[in-house]
Amino acid sequence: MHFGPHLLLAGLEGLVTSAVLALTALGLSLVFGVMRIVNVAHGEFFMLGAVLAWAISTAISGHPAIGFVAALVIAPLLVGLVAFLAEWLVLRRLNYNPESTIVATIGMLYIIQQLALTFYGPEARPVEPPFSYRILLPWFGYSGYKLSVVAASAILLVITWLVLTRTKIGLIMRATQYDRETAQAFGIPVERVYAGVFAVGAMLAAIAAVLIVPISQAHYLMGQDPLLLSFIVVIIGGLGSLRGTVVAAVLIGLSDGIISMFFSPTLAKIIATLVVAMVLVFRPQGLFGTAPR
Amino acid sequence: MRDASPAKTYALHIGVIVLLFALNFVLPDYHQGLFARIMALAVFAMGYNLLFGYVGLLSLGHAMFFSAGLYGAGLTVYHLGWGVPEAFVAGVVCGALLALVIGLLALRTSGVAFMIVTMMFAQAFYLLILYFAAWTGGDQGLVIQQALRVVSIGGASFDLTDPTVRYMSALALFAIVLFVTLAVVRSRFGRVLVAIRENEERTKMLGYDTVANKLAAVVASGAICAASGAAYALLFGYVGSNFASIQYSILPLLWVLLGGAATTLGPLIGTLFMYYVTDITSGFTSAYLLIVGVALILLVLFAPKGIMGSIRERWLGWLP
């Protein structure tokens, strides 16, 4: 294969990574933006989504599409429930203190990971894609499912954006994000908003995981890379900025795909991590964010 | 206020050291080895406590300082054939230099950003160890042979693989670091650090250079953690990349939280407690991480001051 098609393939792979990453990072960004807490267990919600997707799709017989659709609906709901309970039982009692919540979510990370290892096991297991259509390009065939992941993710991002900017729920969320106490004074049930946002954030990660699991397999340690990459995306994009998150996800996903195809993946990760640390040190509001009030 | 009883304070700390010394002759072989390991790692926790407990800076990247010491000592012995004392110094110097660089960069941020920046740097350090697997052994690690771990001072030679020599070396390092920490927290510098934790703006207004003080604390903390890593490499003869992973940044946080942040003996108590909880429960279950996770959540929910912190609050106000 020549350089051009090679680059196109790397770009397509990068686009798929970007799509899933944008959804996952959006969840993290929402939680940080509204609740001002860093959820270290976010990657584990992603992993939980993938593992549940495997469990649901193997439990349902018949055409793989039926199992997949069932997983796409049920897995995020279950993950949302787990996140809701975690918020209700732990985070609320900590009064959303940034340092205590980090320690508590680290605890959740270990608990979820260990439970997945105990009940699901150390194996990586695949989920069958709902359809296996190949799009034939002049140089190579490309999985139609992968492209549909990009489309699905784009639609979900647009829906989230519409909810945030055009509905009353979005208005309430933005009000809480802007000033918690004033929002409460205006009768907004801040605690319920927080619980909802935490659950929705986890559900976005779970949806992303269900979408990616037919491409990469479900494994109990699969939450680590998405967590780190989501951090990178949220930081580069500016904390709490939806547009910045999406732009950064595309940027990181594409460059990750292209750099890993031509150089060592470890080197790509080292460079990305150091760049992000430097961005955070010298431009804490992110590359696209505005200076904090 | 706490200076009211320096005699009691010193008596307590000397008592702890004497107790640990005596335990060497009482403990069965297995527990003697475990205690040596706990003391070496308690030094790591003390280094972490200096920054987290006293300055109030929560770092999620201290594994890089520990492993800087680990590799600084391990690689000089393994590849360059250095002696044990030189290698130990090399490890500490590596940790201190790394802490200086990281401190200069990371202290430009605060709060959540500080945690994420330290975590990112530690992750980059971890990946660098994997990337240079040809020298570091990557995730397989390197085993340092017994012959390389013999110290000869004067005419006598000490074999660090001998259980008693190993125990006493770990105890010596532990005792030195314990008294250094005690001296630091009772000094003027230590009080400035606590003042920064309580109210940085006010401390600055009173004319203290808070940035320089914080940087000094980061370097001291990094050097102590590196000393622990270097000792670990030399005493137990193994260096591996898992010591640089995020888990080893979380563990000292857990030990310090459990034992009591901003207490001199808390790190030892926390490390000891956690090691034995893990050791005892490993008889019933392999779910080690589950215990760590549950412990972290229960601690932040119900006992944010930890064991020694609660004791100080309830009964012994003079505890340093």
Q: Domain boundaries in chain A?
A: 3-282
Q: How far is B160 from chain A (nearest CA, A)?
A: 35
Instruction: Extract the tokens encoding B136.
Output: 């570091």
Instruction: Give the pLDDT band (50/70/90) at residue B255.
Output: very high
- Contact yes or no for A103 and B257 at CB 8 A: yes
Give the model's pLDDT for residue B147.
75
Please report whether residue B257 resides in a domain. Answer: no
Please report whether residue B197 resides in a domain. Answer: yes
Q: Which chain B residue is nearest to residue A276, measuring alpha carbons?
A: B120
Q: How far is B298 from chain A (nearest CA, A)?
A: 8
Position with higher pLDDT, B76 vs A62: B76
Is 80 exceeded by the pLDDT of residue B266?
yes
Give the model's pLDDT for residue A276.
81
Instruction: Give the pLDDT band (50/70/90) at residue A293.
Output: very low
Q: Which residues of B touch A117 (CB under 8 A)?
A: 287, 289
- Contact yes or no for A98 and B111 at CB 8 A: yes
Q: Which residues of A touch B108 (CB under 8 A)?
A: 281-282
Please report whether residue B71 resides in a domain. Answer: yes
* 3-state DSSP assignment of residue B306: helix
Give the model's pLDDT for residue A287.
65
H-run or E-run covering A132: none
Please report whether residue B258 resides in a domain. Answer: no
Mean pLDDT for the stretch of residues A3-27: 88
The stretches of B137-265 forming alpha helices (DSSP H) are 163-186, 188-198, 200-205, 210-236, 247-259
Query: Which residue matches tokens 């307590």?
Result: B12
Please report whether residue B46 resides in a domain. Answer: yes
Are the C-beta atoms of A232 and A276 separated by less than 8 Å? yes
Q: Which chain A residue is nearest to residue B304, measuring alpha carbons?
A: A100
The beta-carbon neighbor of A270 closest among B128, B257, B287 is B128
- Contact yes or no for B293 and A106 at CB 8 A: yes
Q: How many CB pairs under 8 A join A and B?
A: 103
- Contact yes or no for B257 and A281 at CB 8 A: no
Per-residue pLDDT tens digits for A178-188: 888 888 888 88
A151 contacts: CB under 8 Å, gap ≥ 6? none
What are the backbone dihedrals phi and psi of residue A64, each rounded to the nearest 5 degrees, phi first? Answer: -55, -30
What are the backbone dihedrals phi and psi of residue B308, each rounded to the nearest 5 degrees, phi first? Answer: -65, -35
Position with higher pLDDT, B219 vs A179: B219
- Contact yes or no for B124 and A104 at CB 8 A: no
The beta-carbon neighbor of B127 closest among A102, A113, A273 is A273
Per-residue pLDDT tens digits for A114-131: 999 989 988 898 888 888
* DSSP 8-class letter at B271: H
Pick the CATH number of A3-282 from 2.60.120, 3.30.1050, 3.10.450, 1.10.3470: 1.10.3470
Written as one letter, the residue type at B7 is: A
Mean pLDDT for the stretch of residues A257-278: 80
Q: Which residues of A touch B131 (CB under 8 A)?
A: 264, 266-267, 270
Chain A residues within 8 Å of chain B (Cβ atoms): 38, 90, 93-94, 98-100, 102-104, 106-111, 113-115, 117-118, 228, 231, 235, 264, 266-267, 269-270, 273-274, 276-278, 280-282, 284
Give the model's pLDDT for residue B288.
76
Q: Which residues of B touch A273 (CB under 8 A)?
A: 120-121, 123-124, 127
Query: Which residue matches tokens 């532990």?
Result: B174
Please report whether residue B4 resides in a domain. Answer: no
Which of B119, B120, B296 is most worth mutating to test chain A (most A CB atoms within 10 A of its CB)?
B120
Percent of residues, chain B, with pLDDT higher than 90 = 56
Q: How far is A34 from chain B (nearest CA, A)?
A: 15
Is 70 exceeded by the pLDDT of residue B3?
no
Is 80 exceeded by the pLDDT of residue A282?
yes
- Contact yes or no for A103 and B299 at CB 8 A: yes
Instruction: Extract the tokens encoding B131.
Output: 């990337």
- How many domains are there within chain B? 1
A85 contacts: CB under 8 Å, gap ≥ 6? none
- pTM for the model: 0.85
> Beta strands of chain B (E only): which ranges?
142-143, 150-153, 156-159, 238-239
The stretches of A126-264 forming alpha helices (DSSP H) are 144-166, 168-178, 180-185, 190-212, 224-237, 242-262
Q: Taking the mean position of all CA atoms in its chain, how far away is CA B37?
A: 12
Closest among B49, B13, B54 to B224, alpha carbons compared: B49
Half-sphere CA count of A210, side-chain side, radius 13 A? 28
Is 70 exceeded by the pLDDT of residue B140?
yes
- CB count, 10 Å around CB of B31? 14
* DSSP 8-class letter at B262: T
C-alpha dist (Å) from residue A246 to A43, A84, A156, B32, B120: 18, 25, 12, 55, 21
Is 90 exceeded by the pLDDT of residue A139?
no
Q: Which residues of A touch B116 (CB under 8 A)?
A: 38, 231, 235, 280
Residues A9, A39: Cα–Cα separation, whole Å: 33
Instruction: Extract the tokens encoding B43.
Output: 């030094």
Give the model's pLDDT for residue B1.
45
Mean pLDDT for the stretch of residues B160-178: 92
Which of A32, A106, A274, A285 is most worth mutating to test chain B (most B CB atoms within 10 A of its CB)?
A106
What CA dihedral angle connects A75, A102, A178 and A46, to 10 degrees? -20
Is 90 exceeded by the pLDDT of residue A259?
no
The beta-carbon neighbor of B124 closest among A104, A114, A270 is A270
B208 contacts: CB under 8 Å, gap ≥ 6? B192, B195, B196
Residues A71, A77: Cα–Cα separation, whole Å: 10
The beta-carbon neighbor of B127 closest among A103, A107, A266 is A266
Are the C-beta atoms of B225 and B95 separated by less than 8 Å? yes
The stretches of A36-97 forming alpha helices (DSSP H) are 42-59, 64-86
Closest among A45, A53, A57, A115 to A83, alpha carbons compared: A45
Are the C-beta atoms of A215 and A145 separated by less than 8 Å? yes
Structure ipTM: 0.81
The beta-carbon neighbor of B58 closest among A99, A107, A266 is A99
Give the model's pLDDT for residue B316.
77
Residues A209, A49: Cα–Cα separation, whole Å: 6
Q: Which chain B residue is nearest to residue A103, measuring alpha carbons?
A: B296
Position with higher pLDDT, A152 vs A134: A152
Give the model's pLDDT for residue B4.
55
Chain B residues within 8 Å of chain A (Cβ atoms): 58, 60, 105-106, 108-109, 111-113, 115-117, 120-121, 123-124, 127-128, 130-131, 250, 253, 257, 287-290, 292-297, 299-301, 304
Which residues pair with residue B142 across a beta bridge? B239
- Contact yes or no for B58 and A94 at CB 8 A: no
Please report whether residue B238 resides in a domain. Answer: yes
Residues A56, A74: Cα–Cα separation, whole Å: 8
Q: Which residues of A touch B289 (CB under 8 A)?
A: 110-111, 113-114, 117
Is 90 exceeded by the pLDDT of residue A209?
yes
Please report whether residue B35 resides in a domain. Answer: yes
Closest among A36, A39, A278, A286 to A177, alpha carbons compared: A36
Per-residue pLDDT tens digits for B5-55: 788 888 889 999 999 999 989 889 889 989 999 999 999 999 999 999 999
Are the C-beta atoms of A87 and A198 separated by less than 8 Å? yes
Mean pLDDT for the stretch of residues B203-230: 95
Closest among A154, A156, A192, A153 to A173, alpha carbons compared: A192
Domain that holds residue B125: 23-245
The beta-carbon neighbor of A281 closest among B105, B250, B295 is B105
Residues A162, A4: Cα–Cα separation, whole Å: 37
Give the model's pLDDT for residue B309.
84
Which of B101, B107, B116 is most worth mutating to test chain A (most A CB atoms within 10 A of its CB)?
B116
